[in-house]
Structure 1
Amino acid sequence: SHNLLPDCAPHSVDYFIELLRLHNCAGCRFYRAEGRGHLWDAKGDHVKNAAFGPPYALLQGTLEVDGVAFKEMPKEGCSTVRRGSVAWIGSGPEFLISLADHAEWRDAYTVFGSVVPEDMAIAEEMSMLPASTDVWSGVTVRLLKDPVYIKVKRRSNATAY
């Protein structure tokens, strides 16, 4: 579950609400999962003098629904990526959930939500699922052997999904 940030990312939140109206997010999935390694501590703080990845302490996926054209998201005001942040990669539909604080990514991403604290353990478990490695633009990435598909539904709390 995560809480949305309508005050600083209204277009992104509107898109998420549209997903709820569809009642089906077919094709929405996580496909990349990288833990913190020894670069960040359990609270998500960066270890002094450590590299910034790989691994990059993130889950990556897509919120593009099969058969529905995705309209690029504008850059919006929320930009600080912290442990639990949910953010677009570029203009979407690719997105990430951060498992650590990433001050080095300042202004690179539009953060439109945050994972509720009690669900961060699930995100951490996902980062340890069976994976293989690939190289994207010279960077080693960890890709899930079996993607984790996403279901979108409203919780009783009006701003949590």
Structure 2
Amino acid sequence: CHVDLRPGLREIITEGIVGLETSAGTLRIQLLPDCAPHSVDYFIELLRLHNCAGCRFYRAEGRGHLWDAKGDHVKNAAFGPPYALLQGTLEVDGVAFKEMPKEGCSTVRRGSVAWIGSGPEFLISLADHAEWRDAYTVFGSVVPEDMAIAEEMSMLPASTDVWSGVTVRLLKD
């Protein structure tokens, strides 16, 4: 089944870290206000709602044989698919999403949390993606201890679909 972020986003004890509660466990994310202040402000607005109805993960692709367990790309391997990522939306039902501006941090590494375009679609990277260069705004990073939860989510039951000629793995409802 897909992973809802319900009961939603919640603050964790340490300042600057938020939790995405999923059926697989809570992913703690260190926000990066110096890199992406507008994106972090949006996250804080979500915290004030105490619920993120509509927020969910819907795509999950493991590392396959293209990246090692540390997230390093395997020499001479393709860069995907699979693309070693979790993808979801942070659009709250009934709340208009304000597009996020492109902000400072853009290097996607293992654990990076980044907007796809101007949002509300986002990704969590399971590998280093230097090949993506400046395509994304990174606004957070999953704490290293919680990457096992993200890896587990990438293995949840899924079906495949084709988006713009690329095979993707979609979480089952």
- Report the TM-score when normalising by structure 1: 0.89
- State the alpha-carbon separation in 1 of the partners of residues 156 and 32 from structure 2: 29
Q: Specify the SS of the correspondent of 1:11.
A: helix
Runs (5+) with no aligned partner, structure 1: 147-161
Match of 1:159 in 2: none
Q: Specify the SS of the correspondent of 2:172.
A: strand
- Residue by residue over 1:129-160, the C-alpha shift from the partner in whole angstroms, topping out at 9 and shown as x without a partner, is 000000000000000003xxxxxxxxxxxxxx
Q: Specify the SS of the correspondent of 1:133.
A: strand
1:121 CA displacement: 0.2
Identity score, percent:
99
1:91 CA displacement: 0.1
Q: Specify the SS of the correspondent of 1:104.
A: helix
1:6 CA displacement: 0.1
- Residue by residue over 1:73-126, the C-alpha shift from the partner in whole angstroms, topping out at 9 and shown as x without a partner, is 000001000000000000000000000000000100000000011110000000
- State the alpha-carbon separation in 1 of the partners of residues 62 and 35 from structure 2: 28
Aligned residues, how many? 144
What is the RMSD computed on CA atoms of the aligned residues? 0.4
Runs (5+) with no aligned partner, structure 2: 1-29
- Deviating beyond 4 angstroms after TM superposition, the runs of 4 or more aligned structure 1 residues are none
Matched ranges for 1:91-102 at <5 A? 91-102=118-129
- Report the TM-score when normalising by structure 2: 0.83
- State the alpha-carbon separation in 1 of the partners of residues 31 and 114 from structure 2: 11
